[in-house]
Amino acid sequence: MTTAVTIHPATEADHEEIVDILIESYSEYRDTFQPQEQWENYLKDIRESPTNPYIKQLWIAKIDNQIVGTVQLFETAHKAYPTFELSIDYPFIRLLGVDPKWRGHGIARELLQQCVESAKDMGKNTVYLYTGGQMVNAIRLYERFGFVEDPEFSSESSGGKAICYRYDS
């Protein structure tokens, strides 16, 4: 079996698998969502995410014709988070997920690189994303890739820390 990763635009037929991968990928953080109702709301967001009309690009990663990862790219922060007042007029990454059985194969890195290349195609040399302070594996990944925290857009509340990262290419 090869471990060559290929990145493709997702189709509607991929949506169910995308949701399964995202739920499996984010489940390690389930207990950090307090109260538990926050986790249920997050799951609802994940389940609805592939059909979000604001997604500019929905990518999947495949190994041996099997979907093993996914990521969503939005044109701006406002499109990624329409209910928040965010003045980030750059492409925004959301819901990067890799099947836990396939972690450590460079899949997340390939998906992030695809987002960077897509941003360049949009005429932008910067991409942003948010992650939760409890998502230590994600933080490590983003920082190793070259993302740096943008403290202007990071925040802390009773729900935890929301860290805003940016990557300049």
Distance between CA 85 and CA 36 in Å, rounded? 25
Q: Is the pLDDT of residue 1 over 60?
A: no
Per-residue model confidence (pLDDT) at position 36 = 86
Give the model's confidence band at 158: pLDDT under 50 very low, under 70 low, under 90 confident, else very high. Answer: low
The answer as to whether 163 is a domain residue is: yes
Look at residue 5 in the predicted model and tell me its pLDDT: 95
Question: How many Cβ atoms from other residues are within 10 Å of residue 49's Cβ?
Answer: 18
Q: For residue 1, tell me if it sits in a domain.
A: no
Classify residue 43: in a domain, yes or no: yes
Say if residue 3's pLDDT is above 80.
Answer: no
118 in a structural domain? yes
Distance set, CA 91 to CA 20, 67, 117, 137, 155 (Å): 25, 24, 11, 22, 20
Residue 87 belongs to some domain of the structure = yes
Question: 11 lies in a domain?
Answer: yes
Answer whether residue 63 is part of any domain: yes
Say what the pTM is. Answer: 0.94
Number of domains in the chain: 1
Q: Is residue 12 part of a domain?
A: yes
Cα dihedral angle (113, 67, 106, 5), rounded to 10 degrees? Answer: -80
Residue 63 near residue 50 (C-beta atoms within 8 A): no
Average confidence (pLDDT) over 96-108: 96
Q: CA 46, 146, 93 angle in degrees (round to 5)?
A: 25
* Residue 164's CATH number: 3.40.630.30
Structural domain of 106? 6-168
